[in-house]
Amino acid sequence: MLVTDLLTIEGLRTTFQTRSGEVAAVDGVDLSIARGRTLGIVGESGCGKSVLSLSIMRLVPPPGRIAAGRIMFDGRNLAELSAPEMRAIRGGRIAMIFQEPMTSLNPAFTIGDQIIEAMRAHDRTASAKSLRARAIGALERVRIAAAARRFDEYPHQMSGGMRQRVMIAMALSCEPDLLIADEPTTALDVTVQAQILDLLRTLQQQTGMAIILITHDLGVVAEMADEVAVMYAGRVVERSPGPAIFDDPQHPYTLGLLGSIPKIEEDRDRLLAIEGAVPSPFDLPPGCRFHPRCVFAEPACAEADPELREITVGHRAACRLAPLEDAVG
């Protein structure tokens, strides 16, 4: 069977208009994801991961806008849809969960009422009784114990992990083809994080939805993703199937991220830990955006911003020194 992409992003550029001019938070991103698969997007804070996901949802806050590129979803360019068409996509085909569920849940309503409201948005004919039964079923599906009792609780009565489960239940109520999870476990402790990731995986197997999993944690991506894209300063700097990016990283930035995973750190040169910070889109260095922080940088790296190019089959990196075996020695 031919595997067709559910979502294909081409040349996406998302900008913010500021007093000092227009800056690009996402600057020429190409990505794709097939049905039922998980794409992990990883990078430090400020690399443009959230702006990318908000672009797909067409929820970039003004004065931000999609300035260029196409977001092809199941044959349609989301960048060109009208507001009502986009609302239908968000309510029925693509759902999103965020890092901090407390800011997305309304503290004034019970979680049951909020799940029912999410369900009613795409099923206006269901009776109150059947919606209640379905909402309790949705809570059970995300493994909330004593769901019928929890149904009448308010968000503040729940733990962070429970609230994230409620958010997942609400997101899944529209049976999305694509779930975008932006740092869904960052605010949770390690045990609860593992439970939520396990839940997402199980739900994906049950529903066949594709997942874009955004995180600054390469460990999370290693566990979950079929494909990985590493973002740096608004661009994708490395892309590959999951295992290859960990076994054979081809961009120095990815090497640096891997160096910050404790398990791997022991066998790596300490020099690889990344110093400094992600540049702001106002203040990008010339040439390769990573070169001021790169331990392998050469004078030529300050001259041209390298394109993403194929290093081995299916594995792309935007570094003039790749393949890195030679550079690392």
Ligand X SMILES: Nc1ncnc2c1ncn2[C@@H]1O[C@H](COP(=O)(O)OP(=O)(O)O)[C@@H](O)[C@H]1O
Cβ at position 52, least distance to ligand X in Å: 7
173 sits in which H/E element: none
Cβ proximity to ligand X, 27 vs 305, nearer residue? 27
Residue type, 297: A
Do the strands 178-182 and 94-97 form a parallel or antiparallel pair, or are they unpaired?
parallel
Q: Binding partner of residue 46 among Mg ion, ligand X, none, CB under 5 to 8 Å per kind?
A: ligand X
Secondary structure letter of residue 284 according to DSSP:
P
The binding track of 174-193 with respect to Mg ion, each residue x by CB under 5 A or -, is --------------------
Looking at the Cβ atoms of 236 and 297, the one nearer to Mg ion is 236
Residue 53 binds to Mg ion (criterion: CB under 5 A): no
Neighbours of 148 (CB within 10 A): 13
Cα–Cα distance between 85 and 78 in angstroms, integer?
9
Which residue, 147 or 181, is less far from ligand X as judged by CB? 181
Task: Number of helices (H) and strands (E) in the chain: give both, helices first.
Answer: 13, 12
Q: Which of 311, 294, 298 is nearest to 257 (CA)?
A: 294
- Output 47 or 218, the one with its CB closest to ligand X: 47
How far apart (Å, rounded) are the C-alpha atoms in residues 175 and 211? 13
- In whole angstroms, the minimum distance from the beta carbon of 109 to ligand X comes to 27
187: helix, coil or strand? Answer: coil
- State the binding partner of 40 from Mg ion, ligand X, none, CB within 5 to 8 A by kind: none
Query: Nearer to ligand X by C-beta: 48 or 219?
Result: 48
Partner in contact with 61, chosen from ligand X, Mg ion, none, beta carbon below 5 to 8 Å by kind: ligand X
User: In whole angstroms, how close is the CB of 134 to ligand X at the nearest point?
Assistant: 33
Provide, rounded to whole angstroms, the least separation between the CB of residue 49 and ligand X.
3
Is the Cβ–Cβ distance between 99 and 175 less than 8 Å? no
Binding partner of residue 16 among ligand X, Mg ion, none, CB cut-off 5 to 8 Å per kind: ligand X
Contact residues: ligand X, CB under 6 A:
16, 25, 43, 45-51, 61, 64, 280-281
**Cα dihedral: 66, 68, 69, 75 (round 10):** 60
Q: Minimum Å distance from CB 193 to ligand X?
A: 18
Least distance to ligand X from the beta carbon of 245, Å? 18
Q: Tell me if 50 contacts Mg ion by CB under 5 A.
A: yes
Given the complex with ligand X, which of 150 and 235 has the nearer CB atom?
Answer: 235
Partner whose binding site includes residue 43, from Mg ion, ligand X, none (CB under 5 to 8 Å by kind): ligand X
Where is 37: in which H helix or E strand?
none
Minimum CB–partner distance for residue 186 and Mg ion (Å): 9
Question: Distance from CA of residue 50 to its chain's centroid?
Answer: 7
Structure token pair of residue 299: 């004078």
> Could you identify the residue written with the tokens 């998302």?
14
Nearest to Mg ion by Cβ — which residue? 50
- For residues 227 and 87, give the distance between their C-alpha atoms in angstroms, rounded to a whole number: 28
Element (H or E) spanning 222, and its range? Answer: helix 218-224
Closer residue to ligand X (CB): 138 or 237: 237
The footprint of Mg ion (CB under 5 A) covers 49-50
